[in-house]
Amino acid sequence: MLWFVLLQLMDSVHCFPEAEHEARCSSSSCFTLHLDTVAFSNAQQNCEDNGGYLMTVRDRHQNNLLHFLLSHIQGQPQDTTLRFWIGLKLNRGRCVLADRTLRGFQWVNGGEDSDYSNWGREPTPTCTQRCVSISYRMSGANHLRWTDGRCRAAASYICKFDFRGMCRALALLGGGDITYTPPFSRKPQKRQMKSVPFGTYADIVCADRRRHYSVCRETDGTFGWTDPGPFCSSGERSCSVNNGGCEGGCRQNGGQVQCVCGDGHLLDDDGLSCRRSNLCAADPCERECVLTETGYTCGCPEGFQLHDNRHNCTDVDECPLQPCAGHLCVNTPGSYTCRCEEGYQLVGGACTDVDECVSSTCDHSCVNSMGSYSCHCHQGFLLAPDRHSCFHITHGCSSAPCEHECTDVKGGYVCSCYKHYKPDSTNPRLCRQYCGKQKCPALCDKDNVDICFCPDGYIKNQDVCQDIDECEMRECDQTCLNTFGSYECSCAEGFVLRKDKYSCASADTDFTMTTKNPAANNSSLKSSSAAAGDVLWIWVFTAGAVVVLIFVIRFYVTRRQKRQQQSAAAAAAAAAQLNMLSVNRGSSVTTTDITVQFD
């Protein structure tokens, strides 16, 4: 049966002056919850003065026990958050050690360091005294994360008292009174206890002033009283006197008294006391069953909460509380897992920085940072683009050989371009505007927004540069493939692209197969092509043009010959007419200039 079955509630008592606390005991330990707030040293001293120590949380089992104890606190508002010291402390002269589970802290009751930790955040890096506390909210999920702080701060605390066993309360047959002084208290308890820890001292005072003493001891592996009683017998028993000594009900049968117990309880072997029947044996709870004076209650371990039906447990999603401090949180049943980002590793359930400098490849020096690291070079050296190598400084960039940016590298320099630019393919020291997609913002002059520029192969459309589809202009003989900022020509099977990178020729012709690409640096292809059948029309057009040209030349040659013949005939006719005029008119004839205009 789970350890929770062993927990038994004790009445609230006042063990320490002005300090209210609630005590709970198991078969081997008792715990006192002190709600008054004191400094760590005072809390530790109060526990030790009564034979105990500040409660430690060395494993998940003890963490569940702590959660159970705190979950039964009553009389506090639901919005209250209580802080409790636990027995974990960084002593003066010691330093926080990030690679240790307890980060250099130690348990106040000594012993080896545990492998369990529950840090809510990394302790403050220091070599001064620090103390650890946990926070508990009266409502909502509680993970009892550890937090370091100043030891002089005030917080509530929990004392733990280890015992080897427990004894049942003593019984009275007549009038009288019993007081118990447990080993963790300076004063006797003022109220009746149902069970008491090993080492408890009992003082019995009867009505007739008879006095008895008894101590809870271990004998042959069992725990019992040195004087088990019952006490204060007055001869004939009667239910009217001290309930006949019965813990439960009392039935009078003549001169005989019979003790009876209520539901859920059985009469013990002494015939007087009642012990609880094990109601938890039937497993009425999904997770944990806790016996109480009136029956049982169901409980849930850390990471779960009790369902409204008071029997089942439902998982608590811890991730909304960001327990991984910015890293990825994965919820799991009853818990969660942190997935650390690069440069961190999971240690004790939390993501801690990895010191990459321990195994770094830096040439000279390494500086660790949270989640990363950086390499640095000695004076006279520069860090290479690989971010870990160092090379001696040259005068590569001192002459400003690059149009935009220059980086010194071993043996020279490397040029690079600003955003929206790329190195020129003909001269890598220069940069040309570059887009690489259908549309890009136009680069405008900061002093005059009306002056804007677009990369080659793009046209400005309002405030963006839009790619020009050169294939729509039928730039290629056969197939055209548009690219961002350019285009490419290619030929059908049986043809090759001429050296002009535009036209195609038969593969039988001695041409070298190339591809027209006026902007070869841009290889982002888009689908656009001229119809391969256009080549047939080009050949028909060329042949027709040659025939027309032949006819035109022949026409002009024939016409010129006819004009020459007409000119010769006209000249001969003019000469004959002139001779005829000379014969008819004699010396009185006037000469008239005749201009013969040849067509």
Lowest mean pLDDT among 41-50, 243-252, 409-418, 574-583: 574-583
| 290: pLDDT strictly greater than 70 | yes
Q: Three-state DSSP class for 4?
A: helix
Is the model more confident about 340 or about 513? 340
User: What is the percentage of the chain residues whose pLDDT exceeds 90?
Assistant: 11
pLDDT for 560 equals 56
Rounded distance, CA 504 to CA 539, Å? Answer: 12
Average pLDDT, the chain: 76
pLDDT for 437 equals 87
Which string of b and e fits 31-69 if b means at least 16 CB within 10 Å? bbbbebbbbbeebbebbeebebbbbbbbeeebbbbbbbb
pLDDT for 37 equals 93
pLDDT for 523 equals 39
Question: Which amino acid, residue 27?
Answer: S
**Per the omega criterion (within 30 degrees of 0), is the bond before 230 cis?**
yes
Contact yes or no for 230/172 (Cβ under 8 A): yes
Rounded distance, CA 162 to CA 87, Å? Answer: 15
What is the average per-residue pLDDT within 477-501? Answer: 88
With cut-offs at 50, 70 and 90, classify the pLDDT of residue 213. Answer: very high
Pick the CATH number of 319-353 from 2.60.40, 2.10.25, 3.90.700, 2.40.50: 2.10.25
Question: Which amino acid, residue 279?
Answer: L
For the ranges 124-133, 308-317, 536-545, the one whose mean pLDDT is highest: 124-133
281-315 against 319-353: fold identical: yes
For the ranges 33-42, 316-325, 541-550, the one whose mean pLDDT is highest: 33-42
pLDDT for 40 equals 96
CB count in 10 Å sphere of residue 492:
12
Question: Which amino acid, residue 135?
Answer: S
DSSP string for 526-550: ------TTHHHHHHHHHHHHHHHHH
Rounded distance, CA 306 to CA 286, Å? Answer: 10
Q: Which tens digits make up the pLDDT trace of 502-555?
A: 889 888 765 444 444 444 444 343 433 344 445 566 666 777 777 667 766 665
Supply the CATH classification number for the domain 281-315.
2.10.25.10
For the ranges 6-15, 278-287, 503-512, 517-526, the one whose mean pLDDT is highest: 278-287
| 296: pLDDT strictly greater than 90 | no
With cut-offs at 50, 70 and 90, classify the pLDDT of residue 275. Answer: confident
Rounded distance, CA 241 to CA 172, Å? Answer: 10
17: tokens are 């002056």
Residue 231 has what DSSP assignment? B
| 151: pLDDT strictly greater than 90 | yes
What is the average per-residue pLDDT within 430-454? Answer: 86
pLDDT for 175 equals 78
Question: Which amino acid, residue 186?
Answer: R
User: What is the percentage of the chain residues whose pLDDT exceeds 70?
Assistant: 76
| 292: pLDDT strictly greater than 50 | yes
Lowest mean pLDDT among 2-6, 82-86, 201-205: 2-6
| 485: pLDDT strictly greater than 90 | no
Rounded distance, CA 258 to CA 404, Å? Answer: 106
- In CATH terms, the superfamily for domain 3-162 is Mannose-Binding Protein A, subunit A (3.10.100.10)
Rounded distance, CA 199 to CA 191, Å? Answer: 18
Lowest mean pLDDT among 32-36, 468-472, 555-559: 555-559
pLDDT for 530 equals 40
Global model pTM greater than 0.85: no
Rounded distance, CA 348 to CA 354, Å? Answer: 14
DSSP string for 391-425: EE--STTTT--SSSEEEEETTEEEEE--TTEEE-S
Contact yes or no for 289/300 (Cβ under 8 A): no
pLDDT for 152 equals 94
Contacts 24+ apart (CB under 8 A), 64-69: 64/301, 64/302, 65/3, 66/134, 66/144, 66/158, 67/142, 67/144, 67/301, 67/302, 68/4, 68/7, 68/288, 68/290, 68/299, 69/24, 69/31, 69/33, 69/158
Domain boundaries, the chain: 3-162, 168-276, 281-315, 319-353
| 596: pLDDT strictly greater than 50 | no
